[in-house]
């Protein structure tokens, strides 16, 4: 089990902003996310801090999902596979970014960023699962490379697995203002519930969308195909 990192939580969530990293830092707020699918629940938080002096945004991501199914038994290991947000106009240009998280040995790893040699498991995009945002880091390997609750011990998607606390650091060329609306901020979660079959889009306003995974869509297609054949046979008999 990977231990909780109290020093980071205290620095980010408990102390006054001026005591965290200096008077220039502005606390833009903490956003909570929650949703359920396939008998499991996924929860997460995103905490935004902005240093106006260095034009640097820090986003602290926690996967707080329960590690058991909603029934009280069985493994639940949701993985955050993307998260994002919008900036208010005028949108600043990004100078650099870095995403760090912990591996299974509790070693801090850089899993995405720029400049990059292409070895990172996370990329920076603007689109994911039908959601368009100004800044949307995501794993480019599906549920592989996802961010798990550090209390999770089994039921993972394919390797590699990473664990929160994860920290995104972004530096801009001008002032950044977080846009908080119906779709921003946003978290994408996969590997939810029984057999990791659930998939969710979670929004800070409490909206949740269930996304059928490819396996589910295949089963649905088989079901519709079977229903069509049965209907055809009935018409022929008639």
- Per the CB < 8 A criterion, the answer to whether 76 and 63 are in contact is no
The rounded distance, in Å, linking the Cα atoms of 133 and 194 is 30
Residue 227 CB partners (closer than 8 Å, separation 6+): none
Per-residue pLDDT of the chain (238 residues; tens, 9 = 90+): 444 554 454 444 444 443 444 568 999 999 999 999 999 999 999 999 999 999 999 999 999 999 999 999 999 999 999 999 999 999 999 999 999 999 999 999 999 998 754 557 999 999 999 999 999 999 987 778 999 999 999 999 989 999 999 999 999 999 999 999 989 999 999 999 999 999 999 998 877 888 875 544 444 444 444 444 434 333 333 4
Task: Return the CATH fold of 6-212.
Answer: Immunoglobulin-like (2.60.40)
195 phi/psi in degrees, rounded to 5:
65, 15
The structure tokens 């997460």 sit at: 44
- pTM beyond 0.95, yes or no: no
């Amino acid at each position: 089990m990977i231990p909780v990192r109290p020093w980071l939580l205290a620095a980010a969530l408990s102390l006054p902003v001026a005591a965290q990293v200096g008077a220039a830092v502005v606390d833009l707020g903490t956003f909570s996310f929650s949703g359920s699918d396939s008998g499991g629940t996924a929860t997460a938080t995103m905490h935004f801090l902005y240093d106006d002096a260095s034009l640097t945004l820090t986003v602290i991501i926690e996967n707080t999902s329960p590690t058991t199914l909603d029934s009280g038994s069985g493994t639940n290991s949701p993985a955050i596979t993307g998260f994002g947000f919008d900036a208010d106009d005028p949108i600043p240009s990004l100078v650099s970014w870095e995403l760090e998280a912990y591996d299974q040995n509790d070693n801090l790893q850089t899993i995405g960023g720029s400049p990059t040699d292409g070895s990172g498991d996370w990329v920076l995009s603007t689109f994911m699962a039908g959601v368009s945002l100004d800044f949307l880091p995501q794993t480019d390997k599906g549920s592989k490379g996802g961010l798990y609750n550090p209390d999770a011990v089994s039921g993972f998607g394919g390797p590699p697995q990473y664990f929160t606390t994860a920290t995104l650091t972004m530096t801009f060329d001008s002032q950044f203002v977080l846009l908080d609306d119906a779709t921003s901020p946003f978290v994408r979660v996969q590997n939810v519930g029984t057999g990791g079959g659930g998939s969710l889009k979670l929004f800070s306003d409490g909206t949740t969308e269930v996304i059928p995974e490819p396996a589910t869509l295949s089963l649905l297609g088989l079901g519709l195909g079977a229903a069509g054949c049965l209907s055809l046979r009935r018409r022929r008999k008639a």
